[in-house]
Amino acid sequence: KIYEVVVSCFLCLATSNKSPPTAAAATTMSNWAASPRSGSADEVINKTNKVSAQLKAIYKDNILPAEKRYRYDFFYESPFLTDVEFDAKPQVMLVGQYSVGKTSFIRYMLGRDFPGARIGPEPTTDRFTCLINGPEERTIPGNALSVHPDLPFRGLERFGVSFLSRFEGSQLPSSVLRSITLVDTPGILSGEKQRVNRGYDFTKVVSWFADRADLILLLFDAHKLDISDELKATIDVLKGHEDKVRCILNKADQINRQQLMRVYGSLLWSLGKTINSPEVLRVYVGSFWHEPLQNLDNAELFESEESDLMRDLAILPRQSAVRKINELVKRIRKVKTLAYIIGHLKSQMPAVMGKDKKQQKLISDMPNVFRQIMKKHNLAPGDFPDINKFSEKLKDTKFSEFHSLKLDQIQLLEDCLSSHLPKLMEELPSEKDSPETLKAKFGAN
C-alpha cells in the first residue's frame, strides 16, 4: 500500500529499545491509509506515470524551445530537463552542519545500515550520497551514477570531476527506497574549509538538488543551534523552495522539558532571522536514532512528532504528480520573464555603432530595466532572477547576439499556465471526488 513507507519507518521502532508509537498515532495512520481517496500504490504509480508522460510532451512542445532561444540553462545554471527527471521518484534531501545526525536519521528510517555509511562525532560524511533501491548492496561511483540512463543525475556533470569523485550512490534492497530516493549531504563546515577545501561549489550543488527535491529536511542539533555564515549561505540557496523545507530538532532527548522549550524558541528565532519568510517553518522535535531515549520527560511529544514526520514522508509518492506540476509552473514563469528581459535588451541595441557602450549602460541600469519590463508586461517581482547574479552573467554575453522576442512562444507558455496544466490538475484525485470519479481518473473499469 501507499503507506508502506510509514509501516517501514515504524518497524524501526519495533526493533529498537524505544517505545512503540502511541495508540492515537497508530489509529490516525490506519484511518488515513484506509481512506478510499488514498488509492493503492499501483494506482498512484500509474497516475503519476500518466501525468509524467503528459508533462514531458508539454515541456518538449511548449517550453523547451523558449528555454533554448533565451538561454535559460546559462542564466539560471539549470540544464534542460530530460525524460528521466519527469519519471524520477520523489527525492528527500538532508542538509545540516556536521554531526547533527543526518546519516543516523537515514539509518533510523531504513532500519539498517547502508553501504558507505559513516557515523561519528567528527565530520564523517565527506560526499553527497544518493540512496536508491536495488537487488543487491553496493556503492556506485559518482561518474558512473551521472551517466546512468535510469537515474536523474545527468545534470551533475556540469560540476566536474572534482565533485563527481565526492558523489556516490548507495544501493540496497529497501521497501522505503522503493517509493523515495534519499540524498545525504556532507556536514556543513565553518570558515575556509567550507569554501575552498571541498574542490567544488557546495552551495551550487545543494541548489541543484533543491530544485529537484520533493522535501528538504534541515537538521539541527539541540546543543548546536548557532547558524554559521556557511550554513546561512546554504539556506539562502533554498530561497524559492520554502514550501519544501522542514526542520528537525534532533537529539532533543538529551535535554529536559524546560531546556527544550528554550532551545525550540531559540531555533525559531534564529530561523526567523535567516529565512526571509512570513511563515514559520515546521519544526519536528525528537531523537532519530536507534538508541533509547536518555530523558523520558517528552517521550509522548517525540512520538507524536515522529508520527507527523513519517506521515509527511509517506504521502510524498501520492503527491509526486502535483509536485512535478508545481515545479514546472515555477519554471515556466521564470522562462517567460527571461524571454521578456532578453527581448527587451535585444530591442535596445543600436543597429551598427556603439553596441558595447549601450550594453554597459543597460547592465549598470538593470534595476530600472527590470522595473520597466515588470510594469509593461504586468509581471510579478518574484519571477525575476537575482539582479546581481543576472548582471554578472550578462557581462559574459553580447546583447547583439540575443534573439528577439517571439510572441508566439510567449503564447505557448501562457497556454501551459492557463490551459494545459490546469486540465492536468483536474485529472488528479481531490477531496471533492466521489468513488465513481476516482475510478474514472485512475482509468479503472
Q: Indicate the helix (H) or strand (E) that contains 219.
A: strand 215-221
Is 376:347 a contact under the CB 8 Å cutoff? Answer: no
pLDDT of residue 150: 86
DSSP string spanning 357-417?
HHHHHHHHTHHHHHHHHHHHHT--GGGSPPHHHHHHHHTTS-GGGSPPP-HHHHHHHHHII
DSSP string spanning 105-147?
HHHHHHTS--TT----SS----SEEEEEE-SS-EEEEHHHHHT
Outline where 213-298 has alpha helix (H).
229-236, 257-274
Percent of the chain with pLDDT over 70: 82
Q: Quick one: the chain helix, strand, coil %, rounded to 5?
A: 55, 10, 35
**Which residues are within 8 A (CB) of 191 and not within 5 positions of it... i.e. 6 or more apart?**
230
| Mean pLDDT, range 421-426, rounded to an integer | 89
* 245-250 vs 283-285, strand pairing mode: parallel
Here the cell at position 342 is 532578453
Whether residue 87 has pLDDT greater than 90: no
Here the cell at position 257 is 522539558
pTM for this model (two decimals): 0.77
- pLDDT per residue over 89-134, tens digit each? 899 999 988 888 888 899 888 888 888 776 655 555 578 999 999 9
Residue carrying C-alpha cell 529536511: 217
Backbone angles phi, psi at 198, to 5 degrees: -70, -35
Neighbours of 403 (CB within 10 A): 15
